[in-house]
Amino acid sequence: MKTASELNFGERAIISDVDNSHPSFRRILEIGFTPGQEIELVNSSSFNDPLAFALRGTLIAIRKHEADCIILS
């Protein structure tokens, strides 16, 4: 099971699910990381965390820890 935190730079993938046992899952869904959406890992900070994803025509930065609840297909 691959999560969004394991993407390589420039790699695209489709979200299959969001882990609803994660404390931030609702906010992750609300900001637009929903199943069926394509995301791309575009950037990260120099410390490799947080990560910036392209999603629904914008860039969203989230911590690795939060990217872990985004499950990819």
Regarding 24 and contact with other proteins (CB under 8 A), the answer is yes
CB of 11 to other proteins, least distance (A): 13
Q: Which amino acid is at 26?
A: R
The residue within the footprint of other proteins, chosen from 4, 13, 28, 70 (CB under 8 A), is 28
Considering the complex, what minimum distance in angstroms separates the CB of residue 7 from other proteins?
Answer: 13
Size of the site for other proteins (CB under 8 A): 39
Q: Closest Cα partner for 62 from 21, 7, 17?
A: 7
